[in-house]
Amino acid sequence: MIYIIILILILFIFLSLRFSWWRKNISFNYPRVLMYHMISEHLPKNKSKFNRLRVKPSEFEKQLIWLKKNGFTSFTLSELVNLEVIPNKAVVLSFDDGYEDNFTKAFPLLQKYNFKATIYIVLNRFNENWATDKDLDKASNELNSEKMLNDEQIKIMIKSGLIEIGSHTLDHVNLPKLSNEEKHTQIKESKEKIEDNFSIKCNSFAYPFGFFDQNSVKIVEEVAYFNATTTVNGVFDKSKYSNFEIPRIIISGRQGLFSFILKIKKGRNR
């Protein structure tokens, strides 16, 4: 009997640490900005370090259904920051890098449930070494082998009115490691190329890896973006965060709907 009690206690502690169910819910007056990368099936575990970046299409659909049934309204980042009054249960779906499955897998589901999204693209995403494993500080073969969005797919999504295209720099660089001149080039030229390629205004920016410093923030504002997202964990409380340091809630491909619901209610990754 004592062993069963110990086992239950260990399980309780594990689940409490993993899901943080005990945290206080954060008011839905604060919008949730969600961070995704890929919507795709997982690779075999022995061949992937990055399945956490791959949310299965079936799981993504469950998430959209839950948001819809629970009265959430989606906005692009540009729409959200331009609102004079942010409504209750506002949500932004954001996607980093510009993977092709954002068009082949995510976009049909966004259309089906009438959800908007902001997709941040790396301009030189077709280079063989654009994607870096930040833990090892070297190119990731796994990520660099992924198919990326082409310009025609992006144009189709823009035309739908559901998708905003933002910048993720030219080369997915670690901005704090660059000189101010290099930062300026990565931030400004990526914006200009998006505007030239797609005949749109590029108003939104996402710091690669979530890494940023105050010089990066200053340049993003100076070159006329309207907003920028980070990987700071939390909800968008305008009394705490500027439009150029917007926090996001990371949605992992290794967690199911229960974890997703907790993240929405608690307003944080865990």
CA separation, residue 13 to residues 1, 21, 116, 254 (Å): 19, 11, 37, 20
- Alpha-carbon span 170 to 162, nearest angstrom: 24
**pLDDT at 21 (0 to 100):** 54
| Sequence-ordered strand ranges (E) for the chain | 32-36, 38-39, 54-55, 73-74, 90-97, 117-121, 132-133, 138-139, 163-167, 204-206, 227-233, 246-250
Q: Identify the pLDDT of residue 4.
A: 60
Task: State residue 6's pLDDT score.
Answer: 58
What is the torsion angle, in degrees rounded to the nearest 10, for the CA atoms of residue 202, residue 80, residue 82 and residue 123? Answer: -10
**In this predicted structure, what is the pLDDT of residue 128?**
85
Residue 250 is predicted with a pLDDT of 98
Predicted confidence at residue 269, as pLDDT, reads 84
State which residues of the chain have pLDDT below 70. 1-23
Most distant CA pair in the chain, distance: 70
Q: How many whole angstroms separate alpha carbon 9 and alpha carbon 109?
A: 40
